[in-house]
Chains A and B, each alone.
Chain A
Amino acid sequence: MSNADLRDLYQEVIMDHNKKPRNFREMTDANHLAHGNNPLCGDALVVFLKLNGDVIEDVSFQGSGCAISVSSASMMTEALKGKTLAEAETLYQLVHKQMTGEEIDSSSLGKLAVLSGVKEFPARVKCATLSWHTLHAAMDSEHDISVSTE
């Protein structure tokens, strides 16, 4: 592979989100949260959710990780705000399929489609999916729970 492929992975949008992650803050009035970590590389993050009925009123995250995991989490929070839980679930499934190389209609992913380059780098798929798995855990539980992507 060449540097062009590296640029497929490290696209401008991804680099931008890595440098300036959006919704990167603790949410004191969150009513759902979950911890996610990847023991293999030490990535660790918390996803905070504030649900109003079944609408995601606010979503944020905190933690540390590589460019792929931070930018994926950042883009996830942007994509989810104002969505219903059912819409979030659909998006979660789509993202998961995209990362694992299944055929999907990438137009339905919007900006999240920039992460599609990750599937060419199997060792990095878990970096990109960590925040989504953690989100899923947060959606499912009102308690603070932990997930691991190792």
Chain B
Amino acid sequence: MSELDLSAIRKDFPILHQQVNGHPLVYLDNAASSQKPNQVIDAVSDYYRQDNANVHRGVHRLSQRATDSYEGARDKVRGFLNAQSDKEIIFVRGATEAVNLVAQSFVRPQLQAGDEILISHMEHHANIVPWQILCEQTGAKLNVIPMTMAGELDLSTFDELLTSKTKIMAIGHVSNALGTINPIKEMIAKAHAKNIPVLVDGAQAVPHMIVDVQDLDCDFYVFSGHKMFAPTGIGALYGKQALLEAMPPWQGGGDMILSVSFAHTQYNELPYKFEAGTPNISGAIGLGAAIDYMNGLGIANLAAHEHALLVAATEKVSALSGVRIIGTAAQKASVLSFMIEGVHPHDVGTIFDQQGVAIRTGHHCAQPVMQFFGIPATARASFAFYNTFEEIDALVGGIKKVQELFA
């Protein structure tokens, strides 16, 4: 069980201590966006109060401090993912921007009509649409790894889907709609055996587990800060240095150049080549603070507590009649998606909100998953390490309230 001091941890998150509709807030929408500890909020506001200036330019003291903090954050991300070099960490707006960057800058130049891109049926729209755009641009074909009724990838035809024409596999580490943890290490090894590079969408993984990009041997790993207790508008792309070196820049502008004349522009070295314009400096600093915070508590401890929460919630919700859990994979993280018989998830969301319980209802930006299960939407509770076992009781109470109203 948990070795966390939950009451101390919850004190770090000021937003959790409020009443919503006359009830204490129970925040179970962490897969959509997580809350921020004081350590992150303070890092951002301290930067604006004390150090704010543009980075990588100016010899004055503030600019140097801002640059040190920004680059310090980059090194924290490197350590967080166990990447080899800071040059492999590109700051972006979030996972979505990172997928688009790789699609346009890495994959597009190599693509020809008839080439293939491989994704899975359980991807978030952010790991579907950029590839569809690329297919429209190039005449490439999108292939999809199927899934099972349990919400696990069906890998029975995986070998056949990795073809000589597959130019990239883009796969979610953890499904946002179902919570499934995919066996990406094995999948990456198989793809690499056929020289197919792999991008991993880690948006739902990094808040919940230790990620080691060298151990996974993925070529690209993307994530968003706001789902891991950092501000919105910041995220990171990890890419193997050799691949990033060979890629053309994605956007042009300041900071990504070494020299500019009308005859010729020389691009900057990594990672700056991919960071055109003034970056989200305070966001990066906040992300660094979030990493420090998670490391301070121990990511393994956080994962253990969350797993205990998910097991307890699954057990209690399964025991209720008239409730169907969507996504029953053997390996799951954080997410409990469910349907209450005869009640549309949108009504569930409103009734929960009246109890102060915040959950997500809808298609979770994963409409193909909803289509697979033949449902318009689900209600989804998603846990973070600051959630308590009492909050699971509030979840169960919310379901009972819905059933009572719709009886």
Contacts and interface: CB of A to CB of B under 8 A. Distances in A.
Given A66-B344, A66-B346, A127-B346, A42 B362 contact: yes
A6 B405 contact: yes
Contact of A42 (B350, B354, B377): B377
Interface residues of A, number: 24
Contact of B22 (A1, A41, A67): A1
B350 A124 contact: yes
Nearest to B346: A66
Interface in A110-150: 121, 123-124, 127
A112 B151 CA distance: 42
A54 interface: no
Nearest to A10: B405
Contacts of A44: 376
A15 B21 contact: no
Interface in B346-366: 346-347, 349-351, 354, 361-363
Q: Which of B345, B351, B362, B405 has the most CB of A within 10 A?
A: B405
Q: How large is the interface on B (under 10, 10 to 19, 20 to 34, 35 or more residues)?
A: 20 to 34
B350 A41 contact: no
A6 B351 contact: yes
Contact of A67 (B21, B347, B363, B370): B347
B354 A3 contact: yes
Nearest to B370: A42
Contacts of A40: 362
B372 interface: no
Interface in A79-128: 121, 123-124, 127
Contacts of A127: 346
Contacts of B6: none
Given A2-B22, A6-B405, A10-B405, A65 B354 contact: no
Contacts of A1: 21-22, 354
B351 A41 contact: no
A17 B277 CA distance: 55
Contacts of A9: 350
A75 interface: no
Nearest to B21: A1
B363 A66 contact: no
Nearest to A124: B350
A59 interface: no
A65 B361 CA distance: 13
Contacts of B373: none
B389 interface: no
Given A1-B21, A6-B405, A42 B347 contact: no
A74 to B, nearest CB: 14
Contacts of B345: 41, 66
Contact of B350 (A15, A65, A70, A121): A121
B406 interface: yes
B294 to A, nearest CB: 32
B285 to A, nearest CB: 33
Contacts of B346: 41, 43, 65-66, 68, 124, 127
Nearest to A42: B376
A42 B363 contact: yes
A9 B406 CA distance: 12
Interface string A1-31: 1110111011000010000000000000000
A41 to B, nearest CB: 5
Contacts of A52: none
B21 A66 contact: no
B46 to A, nearest CB: 35
A15 B346 CA distance: 14
Interface string A54-72: 0000000000111110100
B133 interface: no
A108 to B, nearest CB: 27
B402 to A, nearest CB: 10
B343 interface: yes
A40 B343 CA distance: 17
Contacts of A66: 344-347
B376 A6 contact: no
A5 B347 contact: no
A40 B367 CA distance: 11
In the A-B complex, the 10 residue pairs with the smallest Cβ-Cβ separation, listed nearest first, are A42-B376, A66-B344, A66-B346, A1-B21, A41-B346, A42-B377, A66-B347, A67-B347, A6-B354, A41-B362
9 contacts: A1-B354, A5-B354, A6-B350, A9-B350, A15-B406, A41-B346, A67-B343, A67-B406, A68-B346
